[in-house]
Amino acid sequence: MEKLELNNKRILLTGAAGFIGAHLALRLLRDCDRSVIVGVDDMNAYYDPALKEYRLGLIREAQKTSGSRFEFVKGSIADKALMTHLGETYAFDIVVNLAAQAGVRYSIDHPDVYIESNLIGFFNILELCRHSYDGGKPGVQHLVYASSSSVYGGNQKVPFAVEDPVDHPVSLYAATKKSNELMAHAYAKLYNVPATGLRFFTVYGPAGRPDMFYYSAAEKLCRGETIRIFNYGSCKRDFTYVDDVVEGVIRVMRGAPEKKTGADGLPVPPYAVYNIGGGRPENLMDFVSVLVEALMRADVLPADFDLESHLEPVPMQPGDVPVTFADSAALERDFGFCPQTGIREGLGAFAEWYRDYRKN
C-alpha cells in the first residue's frame, strides 16, 4: 500500500454539500494542514437544497479555524468541460467522488439522472484522473469513490464479502454503482489510476438525508402520521453511523493501492474495493423502537407517544432487499478500522440534531 499524507494536498471532494461529503469536508478541515479542498456539488433538489446550504454553512464556519482552505464550486460532475477545467487548474493529488444520484426507489421512476450523474459523471472523474498524469506530472495519487451495499442485490450468503459475486443488481442504482467499480478497474489497468471503491451500508446520522427511512420516519411521526414498515417488518439493515464512515474514508484516503508492473509489462491494476459497515444488522422494528426512544429523550416526541398506532406494515418494495450485512474484515485487516457506533448512540445524536435543526 502507498502511504499518503493528507496535509498540503489538493483534494477534490465531489458531493461536498451532501450528507457524507459535508461530514468528510468538516473532518478534513479539522485534521489537515495547508490543504486545499475543492468541493463540487450541483445542489440538486432531489431533497431540500436548504439542507445542503445548511451543511455548506457548517463547512464555512469550520473553515474559519482550519489550517486548510475549502473552495466551493457549484456544478455537475457530468459537465466534462468543468471537470477538465478543475483538473487543469488545481492539479489534484487526491480525488474523493461522493457525488451521485443516490436512492434505490427513486431510480425506478427517474433512471435518466442515474445515467447522467453516476455513469457520465463518474466517467468524467476517471478522465480527470487519467489526464492528471499528462506531460509526466505526478497527478492523482488516489481516487476514492462511493459504491454501495446495494451491489449485493438479493445475495443470500451473509455477511456480504467483497469477493462475493455481484452480477445481479436489482435496481438501476445498484447497476450504476457496480459499473463504477468496473470502470475504475479498467482505468486502473489502462492508466495506472490508483482507485479504491467503498461499499457503504445504510449511513445515518446528524444532517442526514431526508429521503432515508430513519429521517422520513422521524418527520412523519412528528406530524402524527403513520410510517410504513416494509416487508411487514421482516427486514434487516447494517446501519453505519456517519462518523464511522468518515473515519473509514479518511483512513482509506491515506492508503492507495500500490502501483506495480505485471509480467506483461503493463500495470497490475492498483485497485481495491472494501465494505464499510458495522457487521451488526439490526431488525427494522428494533431500529424504529430505538429511534422513537431517542426522539422522546430529545423531546421531539411526547413521553407517552404510542408507536404501535403509527405503524403500517406493507409488502416489500421493488428494488429493495430483505437484508444487508457487511463483512468488513478486509477494511479491518488493511486499515485497522471497523465501524463501532451502536444505533442507540447514533440515533441519539441524530435525534438531538433533528430537534435543533427543526427549531431553526
Ligand X SMILES: NC(=O)c1ccc[n+]([C@@H]2O[C@H](COP(=O)([O-])OP(=O)(O)OC[C@H]3O[C@@H](n4cnc5c(N)ncnc54)[C@H](O)[C@@H]3O)[C@@H](O)[C@H]2O)c1
**The one among 19, 72, 213, 241 contacting ligand X by CB under 6 A:** 19
Question: Considering Cα of 74, then 77, then 79, then 81, what sign does the dihedral take?
Answer: positive
Does residue 121 bind ligand X (CB under 6 A)? yes
**Binding marks (x or -) toward ligand X, 159..198, rule CB under 6 A?**
----------------------------------------
| Residue 103: Cβ within 10 Å count | 19
**The one among 6, 11, 13, 17 contacting ligand X by CB under 6 A:** 17
Q: Please say which residue, 143 or 301, places its beta carbon nearer to ligand X.
A: 143
Question: Considering Cα of 83, then 84, then 85, then 87, what sign does the dihedral take?
Answer: positive
Does residue 107 bind ligand X (CB under 6 A)? no
Give CA–CA dist 27/229, Å, rounded: 34
Give CA–CA dist 220/284, Å, rounded: 16
Contact 195, 271 (CB under 8 A): yes
Least Cβ distance, residue 224 to ligand X (angstroms): 27
Ranges within 69-88 binding ligand X (CB under 6 A): 76-78
Ranges within 225-284 binding ligand X (CB under 6 A): none
Does residue 20 bind ligand X (CB under 6 A)? yes
Could you give the 3-state DSSP secondary structure of residue 11?
A: strand
Beta bridge partners of 204: 241
**The one among 66, 68, 202, 341 contacting ligand X by CB under 6 A:** 202
Contact 144, 196 (CB under 8 A): yes
Three cell numbers, residue 255: 492508503
Least Cβ distance, residue 186 to ligand X (angstroms): 19
Q: Which residues bind ligand X (CB under 6 A)?
A: 14-15, 17-21, 40-44, 52, 76-78, 98-102, 117, 121, 146, 148, 200, 202-203, 209
